[in-house]
Amino acid sequence: MIYIVGIGGIGTSALAQWLKHRGKNVAGNDQTESDITRSLEKLDIKVHIGAVGTLPEPVKLLIYSDAVPATHHLRAMAREKNIAQLSYAAMLGKLSQDYTVIALAGSHGKSTTTSLTGLLFEDLGLDPTVIDGTRVPQWQHNGRLGNFRPGQSKYLVVEADEYQNHFHYLKPAVAVITSLDHDHIDAFPTKESYLAAFQKFIENITIDGTLIVEHSLRAYIEQYAGSRKIVSYSLSDPAATITASKIEVKNEKQYFSVKNIEFELGVPGIHMVANTLAAMAAGQAITDAEKVFQAAQITLKNFNGTWRRFEKLKEHDTVLYFSDYAHHPTELEAVIKAAHQLYAAHRLVLVFQPHQIQRAQAFEKEFKKVFREALSENDLLLLCPIYEVLGREKDLKFSAADWIQEAPGLALYMPTLEDMPQTIKKYTQPGDLVLFTGAGSIDALARKFIETLGK
């Protein structure tokens, strides 16, 4: 048996499905029950919820998420019994060794770009295995969660997470870097340490491999690329290898062209067009460009987004409700602009839960700038308390309550999340677009709130 401690995470749950698909006996535990753990149970993966006193017999390998320290009693028990242990990232790297790896990295957009690349490879007939950091509706069949797609080919499309140097376990033949904004302050205290992690990731690309980057990063990246081929993409710069043109919004869809071929995309945000260019570039690193463009027309037309990436939750009494994972200033700015772009006729009600005290404190100026410049006078900001990440806050004390002063329109701070449902009901108006944002508990609370509408 393979036992996964912290099996309810988006990465560990994808790994559990992959191992199960490979014929392994898989079980695990998590602190709280969730839609993910319930789905795993339906796939015949036993999940123990809450405190687990002992490891079940016979465990041959223990896999753990980053949230599980070495002092955890199950890990200590595994050491006493000489049971092998691997982190999620190490196990992912081990499984990837049998594949041609296409790894999608970057500060922002890597989950969506992984989804788009996996779907594009699927439409190209390449039958990839995909490990994703979000849930894709097209892969939510046969009981699967949508963050894993089983494939029969040699291709593995995988989200390459920089946190705790996870992506250093991968040896990609094709790698994408979408962006390089300093993040994960607890793991990378300085921007230099953050960039150093990506430099090592680049060094791990096969010598004859391809590195795909957003064009503004090319000059910086070239010094570390060695003999690897560099491909760049851009929304506007003609010097890039792949450039978009004629970008416009019509009837709540985006349209753009690449080499005079027109594409239709049903999700908002100019950053989403950039993600599609990265996916096309990844496809062209594997197969003929003409085939990639033909398949991409199908992929993008059928793409309706993913879990927690401007995901539409419900429309009720003319009010639209969306959820998004944005928790970094750059991501928050992008999703606000996306809402304004595609739903210009709707007033935006931004419900934001800052994620992690260290991030909120380090990027306070940037968050204030986003509120000041990206929000309009017509928008409403509802600011939640900071979500504190267990084991990663180091007893820090910091409040974001005064951030509401930066908003040009009406802004309210909710001292507790319990205030959220009533505050939303009190202040929303017909025709509003309510956008729940953050990487913490905000999404689960939003979905519970949505369930009460109309009852």
pLDDT digits (tens, 9 = 90+) for 80-111: 999 999 999 999 999 999 999 999 999 989 99
Mean pLDDT of 445-455: 87
Higher pLDDT, 451 or 396: 451
Residues 295 and 341 in one domain: no
Residues 193 and 235 in one domain: yes
Where b means 16+ CB within 10 Å and e means fewer, 26-50 reads: bbbbbeeebebbebbeebebebbee
pLDDT tens digits along 125-175: 999 999 999 999 999 988 889 999 999 999 999 999 998 899 999 999 999
Distances (CA, A) of 242 to 231, 236, 332: 8, 10, 26
pLDDT tens digits along 209-236: 999 999 999 999 999 999 999 999 999 8
Indicate the pTM of the whole model: 0.88
Residues 287 and 332 in one domain: no
Residues 87 and 207 in one domain: no
Domain's final residue, options 43, 67, 91: 91
Axis-axis angle for helices 329-342, 364-374 (nearest 10):
10
Structurally, how many domains does the chain consist of? 3
Residues 390 and 297 in one domain: no
Mean pLDDT of 268-288: 95
pLDDT tens digits along 4-59: 999 999 999 999 999 999 999 999 999 889 889 999 999 999 999 988 888 988 99
Q: Where are the beta strands (DSSP E) in 194-347?
A: 210-214, 229-234, 242-243, 245-250, 253-258, 261-265, 311-316, 319-324
Domain's final residue, options 39, 66, 91: 91
Residues 114 and 240 in one domain: yes
- Residue with token string 């027109």: 262
Residues 286 and 416 in one domain: no
Report the CATH number that the domain containing residue 341 is assigned in CATH. Answer: 3.90.190.20
Structural domain of 9: 2-91
- Kindly report the CA angle at 453 between 451 and 455, in degrees rounded to 5? 95
Is the pLDDT at 324 greater than 70, yes or no? yes
- Which pLDDT score, from 0 to 100, does residue 394 have? 64
Residues 139 and 208 in one domain: yes
Place 390 in a pLDDT band, splitting at 50, 70 and 90. Answer: low
Residues 366 and 293 in one domain: no
Residues 352 and 437 in one domain: yes
The two tokens of residue 269 are 């945000």
